[in-house]
Structure formats: structure tokens, C-alpha cells
Structure 1
């Protein structure tokens, strides 16, 4: 058995689900659209540049989850899946997941985007294992804060190792381990697997991949 890890945003999806969720809740009037959209866009640009203050971003992006009941959030998310995510899922990404599953590989999505946004997307992609930033909850409602280590940059390594440990495994348990990603922010985990793959990469990751001899592919 081998291990296949997939980033989600701009890798298996033609876009960023975190940023798209922000735009969606602006359009639905769940937040002050003008102020929220400006900050959402600013944080997204910082993410793409590799300069994101993740603590500040999580305080921003998780706060709206604490305003609404879980029922209200789930209804919003169902519309988000139907109206937005369904158009972003890449068929070639689905085919690559299927290829690894049919080979008997252990497959997981590893994403910095919080689990409320991404768990239904992972289910739609048919991926059982999701490693994502976890929004804290109390009494069935989100608190607006994260729980544990966010799955961001080196935090992805921490979370993947903890997940594998829970299965009595580690990265060395597998003859081969793949990680597919588009982002310079994922260089820490890409550097830990046996088979890093740059997928429609940003310019920094493309340059690094070419210098290191990593495969560069497109799922678009």
C-alpha cells in the first residue's frame, strides 16, 4: 500500500473554496459584504504571496461561523455546494483520486481550509480521510476559533503525522508517498514525501519544482 495526499484548493478544485465561501456569504448577506470582501481579497493575496498571517486569517474567516446556528450554516453550505463547488470540481482530479484508490493506495485530502467548508467537498470527491483546519465548537455551535494545529504550511506535516500515528503508521510505512499541490505554502509537506507533484503550480512552486526535478502536471 502507498499513500496519496492531495491539496484541495486550486489542485482538485478550479479555484479556492475558502475564498469562494467568503464571496458566497457576502452575496447571501450573512456578513457586511463591502468590508468582508475587501479583507477576504486581501488575505487571499497574502496567501498566494506566501505572507499570510494565519492566526489573523483564522480569526477573520471563522468568526462568521459563530454567528449562525449549525442548521443555518448547513443550509447555506448546501447551496454553496450546488451553486459554486459543483462548477469547481475538476474531472481530471477525480480521475487521479480514482487511479490511486484503484491501486489500493491510502488517499487523503490535506487542506488549510477549515473542515466546515471542506468536509462536504471531500465527501463529494469520494475521499474518506480529510485533514483540515478544525473550527472549535461548544454546545453544537462554532466558537470562531480554531482547535489544535491548523493544517497550514508545516502544520500539514504535524497533522498528517498525527493522523498516520492514529492508524499505527508513519510516512516511512509506505514504499511511496505522493503529495499533489499547487501552492508554495505546501513546500514543507511536498519536501517530506517520496513523490512530490506540482499541480498547476504558482510561479514560486513551479520554479522550485523545476529546479528540484519534481513532476509538474495540470488537472485543468
Structure 2
């Protein structure tokens, strides 16, 4: 029997980072690029209320907030330096020491580390690079003919079952793999079930209960 390829897949928000990254990214962008867009924050809150009420999907909420706080179309050459600046804020100061240490330990074992996140890849790549991670699976945005980023999802929001499907598509055939998965949230249950080993990091109560039932390891980072 051939040796299995070793992968370690990490959720990002609240697993590696101490909190969410999408709202902080939007605020960081607006503050540095177009402070007048902060006037749209009440509309962003209304959109959030519409999501809670079930009137818009999580992916549509992401598009609305993107349009309000970043704009309909942004050249990628404007985003890249801001993403790097945002990543410097996030790593190491707003990441868990335990997460950084575990990523290095997984790499030392010869495992390929992947960050799989619902956050947009156009800024996650900069965070991943500062963590020494080359591979990212995340939510993508449409680009126009010039490569500019548009306020529209390109494919699925990388969340829940869609995250599992997107990771499965990005990795080699499942039968050739051994996969560890790390996450804080019960929405990642499909990924936990898909993986060979699960690690519930500072888990939500629902994930803690599910992890105890499934035999996944529970880890508290800081």
C-alpha cells in the first residue's frame, strides 16, 4: 500500500486568528482608502439584521458589505499593499500563539498545511504568507477583464458543506490522503466528518458536544 499524502487543514477566523477577520478587513480598507464609506455602516448593520431574519444569505450579505465598504470595483494593485498591511496587523499580534506553534509542528512532521476559510482569498493569502502557509482555499470574488476585484462572489461562499467540497476539489484524490482538520466552529462539521482526525479549537458549545460524541480532540489555545 502506498504512503498517504499528509495534509493539515486549518480554519482561520477564531481558529488561527483571535476573532473574525472580514469585518476588520472592511473597516481597515475603508479607513485607509475611502473614509467616507464608513458612513455606510448603518446600512451594513441593516444588511446584518436582514441576514439574521433570513432575508438574505450569508454569501449575499458578504457581497452587500463588500459593495458598501470597498466599492463595486477595485483594481487588484490597490488591494495588494493594503492586504499586506492588514496581514502585518493580524500576524502575530491578533493570532493565537498555539495556532502558530501547531502550524509549525504540522510542517515539521512533513505535512502540507492548508488554510480553508470563508474569508476572501484576496487578503487571506497575505495572512497565510506571514504564517508560512502556501495553500489557501477560500471565498473568491469575481474579477473583470482587467483583473479588478468586483463585489460579487465567484462560486460558493467557503462555508459549511461548501468548504468541504472546495477543499476536496483542491486537494488530491481523497483515497490518497490523510487529513487533519482544525476549527473552532460547528458549521465546519462537514469538514470534521470528512477528515481523518479532528481538532476542536476553543470550540463553540455545539462543536464541543459534537466533538465529545465523535471522539475529536478538544484543544484550548490561550
Q: Secondary structure at the match of 1:136?
A: strand
TM-score, length-scaled by structure 2: 0.83
1:176-215 correspondence runs (5 A): 176-215=178-217
Which residue does the alignment assign to 1:149? 156
Which residue does the alignment assign to 1:62? 66
Distance 1:31 1:60, change over 3 A: farther
Q: Secondary structure at the match of 2:143?
A: strand
Q: Which of the pair has more CA radius of gyration? A: 2
RMSD: 2.7
1:80 deviates by 2.0
Q: Judge which range, 93-102 or 26-35, deviates more.
A: 26-35
| Partner deviation per Cα, 1:179-198 (whole Å, 9 max, x = no partner) | 10001211111111111111
CA contact (8 A) 1:26 1:37 kept: no
Q: Secondary structure at the match of 2:26?
A: helix
1:1-220 correspondence runs (5 A): 1-28=5-32, 29-30=34-35, 32-36=37-41, 39=44, 43=48, 53-63=57-67, 64=70, 66-138=72-144, 139-164=146-171, 169-174=172-177, 176-220=178-222
CA contact (8 A) 2:91 2:131 kept: no
TM-score, length-scaled by structure 1: 0.84
Unaligned runs of 5+ in 2: none
Q: Judge which range, 32-41 or 108-117, deviates more.
A: 32-41
Distance 1:22 1:179, change over 3 A: same
1:146 deviates by 1.4
Q: Work out the number of aligned pairs and report it.
A: 212
Q: Secondary structure at the match of 1:32?
A: helix
